[in-house]
A = this chain, B = another copy of it.
Amino acid sequence: MDERDDTVETVDSVLAALSDPRRRQLLDLLAEQGEATATTLAERLPVSRQAVVKHLATLDAAGLVSVTRVGREVRYAIRTAGVNATAQWMAALADDWDRRLAKIKRVAEAAERDSRSPRHD
């Protein structure tokens, strides 16, 4: 397994990686083709190969792509696990916030009631 606390620790890098439009574009291209090299990908984009390489390195660091060397070429492919994990993390986060806010609201309302009828009248 060796998952460790990737789930929490990597969310940071996944969010950062996905926040760039060009990187999302790269992931789209990879989803289209299943596998591709930086050189090929660069041909389909208005940027240099080097720019693509850098983006792919970021995606790799975030665990969003897999890298495989075949002879003289390096093939990249999407790994959906990271995105899925982050999506779940976000959903849980929003949920947590919602619960906390609901609690705060209840407390506030209770205080409001108390201040109106101080109970020891």
Q: Does A61 touch B at the CB level, under 8 Å?
A: no
A11-19, A40-48, A110-118: which lies at the B interface?
Answer: A11-19
Interface string of A47-74 (1 = CB under 8 A from B): 0000000000000000000000000000
A12-B21, A16-B19, A19-B16 known; A91 and B97 CB under 8 Å? no
Interface size range of chain A in the complex: 20 to 34
Contacts A78-B101, A96-B31 hold; do A87 and B90 have CB atoms under 8 A apart? yes
With A15-B15, A19-B16, A100-B31 as contacts: A94 and B83 at CB distance below 8 Å: yes
- A27 in the interface (beta carbon within 8 A): yes
Instruction: Determine the distance from Cα of A104 to Cα of B78 in the docked complex, in whole angstroms.
Output: 12
A6 in the interface, Cβ–Cβ < 8 Å? no
Interface residue from B18, B31, B98 paired with A80 (Cβ < 8 Å):
B98
B32 touches A100 (CB 8 A): yes
Residues on A facing B (Cβ under 8 Å): 12, 15-16, 18-19, 21, 27, 31-34, 77-78, 80, 83-84, 86-88, 90-91, 93-94, 96-98, 100-101, 104-105, 108
List 16 additional contacts besides A12-B21, A15-B19; criterion CB under 8 Å: A15-B18, A19-B19, A27-B97, A31-B100, A32-B100, A34-B101, A80-B97, A80-B98, A83-B93, A83-B94, A83-B97, A84-B90, A84-B91, A84-B94, A87-B91, A88-B91
